[in-house]
A = this chain, B = another copy of it.
């Protein structure tokens, strides 16, 4: 720490320990990729239980919530085509069909005939689906904000900015 700027100080965490183990075992490998992507993955996994608990209180799992929230934030009439949904959610078309079946059976969405394209069977939130999605989303955002409490507002903002730059570059890349 003495020869480092404070801004570069890396805090003790699970991925940091991993990095030191690799340094011992394979000192010639550059693990900077892991320092970012490995931590992003670890944080995602670690935050999961708290967030899933929110959805479970509303009778949803993460995948189902993802569908409902995508429809909700699309704005009235809260309707999207399955293709838009599975691309946005980064899942397979088959996986989406299953989620939609569950949500339809639960009365949270309904399938409405497309106006123009007969191949398409758009999906739309029901009133209950809209209410459920909004309630779960509000609680989710409250929990997620709490998970970031240890960071100052400035750190959160800087972190979001750096992540958005990385995300932008990943989206732009051919297919990495």
How distant is A107 from chain B, measured CB to nearest CB, in Å? Answer: 22
* Interface: A90 (CB within 8 A): yes
User: In chain A between 14 and 46, which residues have their CB closer than 8 angstroms to a CB of chain B?
Assistant: 14-16, 18, 21-22, 24-26, 29-46
Contact of A26 among B38, B45, B134, B142 (CB under 8 A): B134
How distant is A91 from chain B, measured CB to nearest CB, in Å? Answer: 9
Q: Which of A92-100, A116-124, A143-151 contacts B (4 or more CB under 8 A)?
A: A143-151
* Interface: A1 (CB within 8 A): no
Known A10-B160, A10-B164; 10 more pairs at CB < 8 Å: A8-B158, A8-B161, A9-B161, A12-B164, A22-B137, A33-B141, A33-B144, A36-B159, A39-B164, A40-B163
How distant is A23 from chain B, measured CB to nearest CB, in Å? Answer: 9
Q: Mark A49-72, 1 if CB is under 8 A from B, else 0.
A: 111000000000000000000001
How distant is A155 from chain B, measured CB to nearest CB, in Å? Answer: 6
Q: Are A145 and B30 within 8 A (Cβ)?
A: yes
* Interface: A73 (CB within 8 A): yes
* Interface: A166 (CB within 8 A): yes
Q: Are B73 and A156 within 8 A (Cβ)?
A: no
Q: Mark A161-176, 1 if CB is under 8 A from B, else 0.
A: 1111111111101011
* Interface: A101 (CB within 8 A): no
With A44-B41, A44-B44, A176-B49 in contact, is A166–B151 under 8 Å at CB? Answer: yes
Instruction: Determine the distance from Cα of A46 to Cα of B101 in the docked complex, in whole angstroms.
Output: 26
Closest to A10 in B: B164
* Interface: A115 (CB within 8 A): no
